[in-house]
């Protein structure tokens, strides 16, 4: 990539909080796997500037996943298979984390309800 604009790093950081961006997906992946941007850079075989640009991209849609990944990969000179695998892994881990959180909330609510009924928690 060419020289990174001065505003890009801050924009990439803000993109982590936008639900439609790769930035949110990648930052969630890093949190769930206890990794960091350097690991993403290594996996995608790109530089930090490219990763920052990726953070600003719209995440691939389920309906057009292959085409979206191909377009993003072509734009930034990435291997589309590496990018697709990373996005799919991030999606899967987010789904598992959400399911685990829902299960824990459900167990807590069942225990609270049982206590109200005078029963021992399950």
Structural domain contains residue 3: no
Taking only the tens place, the pLDDT of each residue in 26-71 is 999 999 999 999 999 999 999 999 999 999 999 999 999 999 999 9
pLDDT at 94 over 60: yes
Structural domain contains residue 61: yes
Structural domain contains residue 121: no
Euclidean distance between CA atoms 7 and 71, whole angstroms = 24
How many domains in the chain?
1
State the residue range of the domain holding 95. 8-116
Kindly tell me the number of DSSP H helices and DSSP E strands found in the chain: 6, 0
Residue appearing with tokens 């399950």: 122
Q: Cα(first)–Cα(last) distance of the chain, in Å? A: 56
Taking only the tens place, the pLDDT of each residue in 12-34 is 999 999 999 999 999 999 999 99
Give the residues across from 21 on adjacent strands. Answer: 58
Structural domain contains residue 52: yes
Structural domain contains residue 62: yes
Structural domain contains residue 24: yes
What is the average pLDDT value for the chain, to the nearest integer?
87
Percentage of the chain beyond pLDDT 90 is 75
- How sure is the predictor about 119, in pLDDT bands with cuts at 50, 70 and 90? low
Structural domain contains residue 91: yes
Structural domain contains residue 68: yes
């Amino acid at each position: 990539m060419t020289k990174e604009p001065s505003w890009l790093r801050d924009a990439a950081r803000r993109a982590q909080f936008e639900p439609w961006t790769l930035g949110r997906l990648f930052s969630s992946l890093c949190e769930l796997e206890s990794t960091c941007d350097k690991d993403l850079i290594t996996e995608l075989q790109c530089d930090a500037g490219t990763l920052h640009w990726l953070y600003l991209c719209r995440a691939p849609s389920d309906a057009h996943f292959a085409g979206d990944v191909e377009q993003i990969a072509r734009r930034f000179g990435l291997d589309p298979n590496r990018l697709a695998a990373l996005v799919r892994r991030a999606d899967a881990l987010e789904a598992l984390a959400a399911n685990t959180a829902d299960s824990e909330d459900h167990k807590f609510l069942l225990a609270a309800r049982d206590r109200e009924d005078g029963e021992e928690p399950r």
